[in-house]
Structure 1
Amino acid sequence: MTRRPLCVICLLVIGWLLVSGKYGMNEDSSWTSRFYDKKVTVTGQLVKQEQSTTSNQLYLKNNSILYQSKSYKIPNQKQILIFTEDNTSYRAGSLLTVSGICQEIQEPGNPGQFDLKKYYEIKEIQMVLNKGKVLNAGRTYWHIRQFLWDVRERFKWTFLQIANEENASVLDAMLLGDKKELDPEVKKLYQDNGIAHILAISGLHISMLGMALHKLLRKLGISWYLSGAAAGAIMSAYGLMTGFGVSTTRAVIMFLVYLLAGILGRTYDI
């Protein structure tokens, strides 16, 4: 163990995360209960937008809440999820001012029932608004992330051109990490056959794409440093484009470790 200091550091960090989560070192979210079933106005930066045929979901961070002429600040970079019928596409990072009804996040009433409150906590969502109405949208935005959003939408459009809706939704899930259009019966079919993991972007996707790109650049005569930097940047951008889910984040980090091992002349310890 003494020969692997990074392993010791990782174990200490994991221990700290476990202790901080178990003993309540995270910010208490009970103060949001004062807004339940009340109309509030929030202002924050758009970090994610999910559109479907029935609704539009906006995820805001760096939020402030205006209620009864008083302003409150969301602590610790927590997010606000807003459901709205407005299907307008807003730019990534733009500052939005939205009004809506604060919804109480219900805890499970029966053993084994899906814990929506815990799910939102894991996704760092502190507040949910229904009947959202965008009052104002700023002009400044994150250019790189918006470019990746546009690329993602272009891929989705292309999938619809080359396949029917059902198969296109599978391609969206496998390559873009977007499962909201996936047919529940198709998803259950993958689960029943034990291959549901291919619907999530993970090490299989990142390693195949990243290492193929890296080896291609090396065959073109590009140095390890430049080819590694290019492959690492492109795969990080791919992770950002697909939303950086848990499995994607882990896979991208391990791919970067693989590249770093090559640069430092070390063995990639599986």
Structure 2
Amino acid sequence: MKVFKFPLLTITISFAIGIIAAYYVQWSFSTLIVSLLFCLGIFSFLFWKSKKALLQNPFFGITTYLLALILGMMSFYIHSDLNSKHHYTKTSFEDSNSIRAIVTTTLKPNEKYHKYFISLSHFNDSIASGKLLLYVPKSNIEILNSGDEIWLNSTIYPVPKAFNPYQFDYSKYLEKQNVFHQIYTQENQIKIVQRHKTIDYYIENLRNNLSKSFEIHQFDSKTKAIIDALILGQRLELDKETIADYSNAGVIHILAISGLHISIIYFFIVFLLKPLKRIRFGAEIQLLIVLAILWLFALLTGLPASVTRAVTLFSFISIGNYFNQPKAIYNALAISAFLILLVKPNAIFDIGFQLSYAAVLSIVLFQPFYKKFYFSENKIAVYFTDTILVSLAAQIGVLPLSLYYFNQLPLLFLLANLVIIPLSSLVLIAGIVILPLNYVLPTVAVFLGKILE
């Protein structure tokens, strides 16, 4: 297969298999060290020997993949919060536990509670680490924000496991994010000790202000929620009906900023900056501007996993294009996935991570066959043919995962993508253009906002 001509891809796959193996096998640190040193020794010997040989020793390749697998297991062990000596689970729980922590992430609320991830600093007067899921009543006077240092006394509960077959197991989902327990608080039970103005605080503040700038348009709540999801990556206000409608049509990915949105922004920026290539150092300036805008956008959305992997991927594609290597997409895929897994090994268990890479890999694999289906050289006809073929290729790639996780296959995905992708592209670009106009030329922004709505 063409894929195996790219060793970076197969090494990354071996690294990912190592992470999955570590999750289920759970070797001790000493066992991992011994295994790593053993593999490293064999790898070094075969590498030295291969430099003197005319033909590549197949055992060198096998050892390389085995070493990548062990490194994957080691990475998972190091990043597992449970292996920290200060993890809160290593102390005894009481009926009411003294907890001091910092709010790190604001989650989508439910009908009664606001939800947050908090990172512990002290647990029952001892230095502690670890993450907890915090539920705060919506009737609470103060709304928590990223960077808030809080103190409370509360009972800690394990996240309940799913009992029905094929039911989504929220406890497993949280476990793979190093969250094992939850706290339900009462009204005004939490004391805010200090507001740390961390980068998360400033980003959340900026994002909220940008979202509020759309209030001059007086959009209805559903439209405003969709704009926040498409442009700022915030799905907190999306109602269940909207999510269900998009999900049933097979286009739920439109509401979560991912590869599709980043690709639209990427090609839009490249198109705008095309004249730069005519000047000296124009290609370098274009590359730097593209990378800067992509990563600023990622920061603005709060660096969710879907945006981080998409921006990382397109960053390597940009660099590849700069070095006149536009076809090295497999290496770009491999490096982006490897870096994400190196920093956050648990990302391999994220459904979004699996779906996005499966979709992109499938699109790339089927790309050589696209031209065989062109029935016209007309640009509009080619565009719609490409849209259908790319949607079909992506759906083939994610089909096994969709059936495994969701037990369903949306039958409207081709028709829906044919309509939704062009419209979402226009909405995203128009929204980005309108955003600065909300501050500079509000009258023009409102006029464009009517068209956008």
What band does the TM-score fall into relative to the shorter chain?
Answer: 0.7 to 0.9
State the 1:3 CA deviation: 5.6
Counterpart mapping for 1:209-224 below 5 A = 209-220=265-276, 223-224=282-283
Q: Match for residue 155 of structure 2?
A: 101
Indicate if the aligned counterparts of 1:174 and 1:200 stay in contact, CA closer than 8 A.
Answer: yes
Q: Which AA in structure 2 matches 1:8? A: T
Q: Match for residue 117 of structure 2?
A: 59
State the 1:228 CA deviation: 2.0
Counterpart mapping for 1:172-251 below 5 A = 172-220=228-276, 223-251=282-310
Indicate if the aligned counterparts of 1:145 and 1:241 stay in contact, CA closer than 8 A.
Answer: no
Residue 19 of structure 2 is aligned with which of 17, 37, 40?
Answer: 17
State the 1:30 CA deviation: 10
Query: 2:102 aligned with 1:45, yes or no?
Result: yes
C-alpha distance in 1 between matches for 2:92 and 2:265: 48
Query: 2:179 aligned with 1:121, yes or no?
Result: no
Q: Which moved more, 1:116-125 or 1:252-261?
A: 116-125
Sequence identity percentage: 21
Indicate if the aligned counterparts of 2:88 and 2:128 stay in contact, CA closer than 8 A.
Answer: no
Which of the two has greater strand per residue?
1
State the 1:170 CA deviation: 1.8
> Does the C-alpha gap of structure 1 residues 254 and 99 become closer, same or farther in structure 2, counting only changes over 3 Å?
same
Give CA deviations for 1:68-106 in whole Å, capped at 9, x if unaligned: x5x2523xxx42221223353555434433433312211
> Does the C-alpha gap of structure 1 residues 98 and 207 become closer, same or farther in structure 2, counting only changes over 3 Å?
farther
* SS of equivalent to 2:190: strand
C-alpha distance in 2 between matches for 1:19 and 1:100: 36
Indicate if the aligned counterparts of 1:58 and 1:81 stay in contact, CA closer than 8 A.
Answer: yes
Which of the two has greater helix per residue?
2
Q: Match for residue 134 of structure 2?
A: 82
State the 1:119 CA deviation: 1.7
Indicate if the aligned counterparts of 1:202 and 1:251 stay in contact, CA closer than 8 A.
Answer: yes
Q: Match for residue 266 of structure 1?
A: 325
Q: Match for residue 149 of structure 1?
A: 204
Q: Which AA in structure 2 matches 1:241? A: L
State the 1:224 CA deviation: 2.6
Counterpart mapping for 1:154-165 below 5 A = 154-162=209-217, 163-165=219-221
C-alpha distance in 2 between matches for 1:165 and 1:141: 30
State the 1:115 CA deviation: 0.7
Find the structure with the greater CA-based Rg. 2
Indicate if the aligned counterparts of 2:108 and 2:235 stay in contact, CA closer than 8 A.
Answer: no
C-alpha distance in 1 between matches for 2:221 and 2:202: 25
Q: Unaligned stretches of 5+ in structure 1?
A: none
C-alpha distance in 2 between matches for 1:230 and 1:87: 43
C-alpha distance in 2 between matches for 1:160 and 1:209: 24
Q: Which AA in structure 2 matches 1:261? A: G
C-alpha distance in 2 between matches for 1:87 and 1:211: 44
C-alpha distance in 1 between matches for 2:289 and 2:212: 27
Give CA deviations for 1:87-134 in whole Å, capped at 9, x if unaligned: 535554344334333122111122122211012123332331110633
Q: Which AA in structure 2 matches 1:59? A: F
Q: Which moved more, 1:99-108 or 1:198-207?
A: 99-108
Indicate if the aligned counterparts of 1:39 and 1:99 stay in contact, CA closer than 8 A.
Answer: yes
Q: Which AA in structure 1 matches 2:118? A: L
Indicate if the aligned counterparts of 2:106 and 2:145 stay in contact, CA closer than 8 A.
Answer: no
Indicate if the aligned counterparts of 1:32 and 1:127 stay in contact, CA closer than 8 A.
Answer: no
Corresponding pairs, count: 262
* SS of equivalent to 2:246: helix
* SS of equivalent to 2:234: coil
State the 1:238 CA deviation: 2.0
C-alpha distance in 2 between matches for 1:228 and 1:129: 46
C-alpha distance in 2 between matches for 1:6 and 1:181: 40
Q: Unaligned stretches of 5+ in structure 2?
A: 27-76, 330-363, 365-453
State the 1:51 CA deviation: 7.5
> Does the C-alpha gap of structure 1 residues 225 and 97 become closer, same or farther in structure 2, counting only changes over 3 Å?
farther
> Does the C-alpha gap of structure 1 residues 2 and 192 become closer, same or farther in structure 2, counting only changes over 3 Å?
closer
